[in-house]
Chain A
């Protein structure tokens, strides 16, 4: 794994951007630019990162960067890659496309699927803050069960989102990509190492990185990294790699922290702790556990453990 000393002190994602205090995606962008080792061209889907990093006439980007539309980052990257191939420069430049969870899980999934199927040599990074934060916290296919958003509010009858989070990596792996991985901004060296592996792959690679949003998740702005860490430590967000189809856990989490420690600091889950929604909290817990078990099994980890927190009563 990469060490701090190996990283460049140069900043390609410049200070002076307008991302929020405590913004997870901003940390993701900075770390990504620490990871790149070759000249890079960035493609950015519409979203928080694009909006807050490129307000004309300013730009936070010290590398070639293009924003086009919400759903087409992978298609634009395809075109850029085709041009580089035509010029014989495909091996000398890394192309990285950034999309939020809305731009990736939902509206951009078709363009991503096409680009993965065509085997363009680029890295797609989905920075996941689990809702459409840029437009004011609406649910996406990445929003977890039970979370309150402005389109899945915590109502008196329906407590937040009723559907589960989509398995993005599973979708990408089904395309036969050579490298796919999940990451969390709390584990910077794991993330940077994975970005380096992804860009080194000939052909498409995908990284799904959890990047908490204080505004949308409703937690204190000084707790972003703490929550990104708890997401992993509670088995809420498993970290793993899929190298040529082989799943491997990046962090085994043998003694998971109780899920409540991740959920409770967040306003979006607060309603689940009301007695009438205990069953919904239990369903979220069941989904987290089932997902962990599914991933652990894919990674060849046995026996499947039951999360100790599952036996604790909701408080």
Chain B
């Protein structure tokens, strides 16, 4: 039995929902730089500051490099910190991303995913975040504005947990989520504050207890620092699970590392992240009515990768099409499909895998595209060999 929790529904686009979540999280410092399609986040937050609705130090910096650098400084000083970016901005932050995870500074950053130049394109795909895939941040992908709101709130607790102490990105598809208006069920601010509490840093820049941060570390110790980051990543899934369960109690919305749709008896499935999951579910439901046993596996948590849970979900699935919204040039598969292939090797699941690259630079991923993937997965499930392991869908040949 779930209790009834009354929540206000507010019409917001994804960016506004994220800004609203950051406001409710009562962040101490925001340092950010505008970039399409993230800009609405910083604009809304600027409104909160200008109207005295938040007690936040807003540092309007001169670049994304400085945005994240300032966030690292604030996090080291013990503050709850938020920022947001997209595309080129994330790419400009690249070295700072590694700094934030290496110094173990909790920071929540929304990434309104957008294609990378060249050619310049402001629309959605995942090449920005995938380009920084190995930066040591926890990486969450939202499907819609509601999820972007919910995950932003949860991200503070996950990253600030002492067992984790890592920065977190909440990814939302540019325009598709960032600019699309939805009814978003929101919590009361006092509920969010009591859910999050005040950040209590393990270590900080403290004049009463001086410590050295960011020391030069040579071959005799560097590996141990990296190993500790690996351990922190390993510690994250149980923390994410317990945060999600507690969030469920106040919101009635249950999150996890992934979400399956009609997966229990599926012969064929599609795996994806972000907004395309909604299209995939609609198509899967239609095919189910035609008696086709298809399902959808959506990943919320991309890093750390939920290997065991993915294997469990695919254990009875005969064939799966993996959607990558970014190209990994010269690689056998896109980034997500590489992880699914690794999952297969590590766990011994027998699922046949094929990779589909689609929706680059904002190209629409149509229901007919997804239907084609399901049909293909069903053919492979019935024994057809995988002749094209990495296929582009919806692209002129």
Interface of A with B (CB < 8 Å)?
A: 39-41, 43, 50-51, 54-57, 59, 61-69, 71-72, 74-87, 93, 110-111, 113-115, 117-118
Known pairs A72-B96, A118-B60; A110 contacts B207 (CB<8 A) = no
Give a binary string over B45-62; 1 marks a CB under 8 Å from any A CB, 0 the rest: 000000000011101111
Out of B62, B73, B103, B210, name the residue touching A83 (CB < 8 Å): B73
Shortest CB distance A1–B (Å):
27
Complex interface residues of chain B between 42 and 99 (CB less than 8 A to chain A): 55-57, 59-63, 65-67, 69-79, 81, 95-96, 99
**Contacts A54-B212, A79-B74, A79-B75 given; 9 further ones with Cβ under 8 A?**
A55-B216, A65-B213, A67-B215, A75-B61, A75-B69, A78-B69, A83-B28, A86-B29, A114-B61
Interface magnitude class on chain B = 35 or more
Chain A residue at smallest Cβ distance from B27: A86
Q: Check A111–B210 contact: CB distance below 8 A.
A: no
26 A-B pairs in the complex with CB atoms less than 8 angstroms apart: A40-B207, A43-B73, A55-B215, A55-B218, A65-B213, A66-B212, A66-B213, A66-B214, A68-B72, A68-B99, A69-B69, A69-B95, A78-B59, A78-B61, A78-B66, A79-B70, A79-B71, A79-B74, A82-B29, A82-B57, A82-B73, A83-B77, A87-B78, A114-B66, A117-B62, A118-B59
Shortest CB distance B67–A (Å):
8
Residue B31 interfacial (CB < 8 Å): yes
**Which 4 residue pairs of A and B lie closest in terms of their CB atoms, listed nearest first?**
A79-B73, A114-B62, A79-B70, A39-B207
Q: Which of B71, B72, B79, B215 is most buried by chain A, counting CB atoms within 10 A of its CB?
A: B215
Residue B206 interfacial (CB < 8 Å): yes
Chain A residue at smallest Cβ distance from B206: A64
Residue B190 interfacial (CB < 8 Å): no
Q: Check B99–A111 contact: CB distance below 8 A.
A: no
Q: Which of A64, A74, A83, A111 is most buried by chain B, counting CB atoms within 10 A of its CB?
A: A83
Known pairs A50-B216, A111-B66; A66 contacts B76 (CB<8 A) = yes
Q: Check A83–B74 contact: CB distance below 8 A.
A: yes
Chain A residue at smallest Cβ distance from B98: A69
Residue B211 interfacial (CB < 8 Å): yes
Shortest CB distance B60–A (Å):
7
Q: Check A77–B73 contact: CB distance below 8 A.
A: yes
Distance between Cα atoms of A62 and B55 in the complex (Å) = 33
Complex interface residues of chain B between 190 and 238 (CB less than 8 A to chain A): 205-208, 210-218, 221
The residues of B that contact A51 with a CB separation of less than 8 Å are 216
Q: Check A82–B216 contact: CB distance below 8 A.
A: no
Distance between Cα atoms of A76 and B71 in the complex (Å) = 7
Interface of B with A (CB < 8 Å)?
A: 28-29, 31, 55-57, 59-63, 65-67, 69-79, 81, 95-96, 99, 103, 205-208, 210-218, 221
Shortest CB distance B203–A (Å):
10
Q: Check B213–A83 contact: CB distance below 8 A.
A: no
Distance between Cα atoms of A55 and B67 in the complex (Å) = 27
Q: Check A79–B69 contact: CB distance below 8 A.
A: yes
Out of A62, A67, A79, A84, name the residue touching B214 (CB < 8 Å): A67
Chain B residue at smallest Cβ distance from A117: B62
Distance between Cα atoms of A113 and B96 in the complex (Å) = 19
Q: Check B216–A54 contact: CB distance below 8 A.
A: yes
Q: Check B212–A78 contact: CB distance below 8 A.
A: no
Q: Check A41–B214 contact: CB distance below 8 A.
A: no
Chain A residue at smallest Cβ distance from B28: A86
